[in-house]
Homo-oligomer: A and B are copies of this chain.
Amino acid sequence: MSDGALISGADLGAIRGERVLYRNVSVTAQAGDLILLRGANGSGKTTLLRQLAGLSEPQSGTIERDGLHHWIGHTNGLKAYETPRSHLSHWARVWGSEADIGLILNEVGLNRPADVPCRLLSAGQKRRIALARLLLEQRKLWLLDEPFNALDTDGQALLAEMIEAHRSEGGAVLAALHGSAPIEATREVTL
């Protein structure tokens, strides 16, 4: 593993059904990188991200990770009965982080619906809760699957700032994205 790399996958391949999604894909992320995964719908971005996150076994190739990472998938991992606050404090406890939940809720613009159960929240508000998880604990690597979905323009700006800040602090970000990116990337991987 090339030293200093936070994650590196070599000649990864994925087969679904009798279909080969991709093969010999290699991804490496150093500190400060922002790597965008590009590709049409169904080309395998989510699949690749899940393999990199260790959520599914690659059919070929090897992956090396250095420490823990944050994951945001297509789904936000919220329960209908959770409120933004309870969700965040739950994961804060799980991860043993002392972060100030109220502050974070404020940062992602959720202090108003902070105690409204998630089943009543709007799509963008739910997405913002997922973003808030990124601030709960310092983790060098972020794996984000179409993180800008459902966010309004402020929300997209906010996320862009968060990513920039994270990179400047020596973190790395891998994100699957459609259309024009609001941030310029170090590198693009197209499937």
Question: What CA separation (Å) do A154 and B38 show in the bound complex?
Answer: 13
Q: Which A1-42 residues sit within 8 Å CB-CB of chain B?
A: 16-17, 19, 39-42
Taking CB atoms, residues of chain B closer than 8 Å to A186 are none
Query: CB-nearest residue of chain B relative to A128?
Result: B41
Q: Which A137-154 residues sit within 8 Å CB-CB of chain B?
A: 146, 149-154
Question: What CA separation (Å) do A166 and B91 show in the bound complex?
Answer: 46
1/0 contact trace for A94-136 toward B, CB 8 Å? 0000000000000001001100100011111101100000000
Q: Out of B40, B149, B150, name the residue touching A154 (CB < 8 Å).
A: B40
CB A129 to nearest CB in B, in angstroms, measures 11
Residue tally, chain A, CB below 8 Å to B: 32
Per DSSP, chain A at the interface is loop
- Known contacts A17-B120, A19-B112, A46-B122; 14 additional CB pairs below 8 A are A16-B120, A39-B152, A41-B123, A41-B124, A41-B127, A41-B151, A41-B152, A41-B154, A42-B124, A42-B125, A74-B123, A74-B150, A149-B149, A156-B179
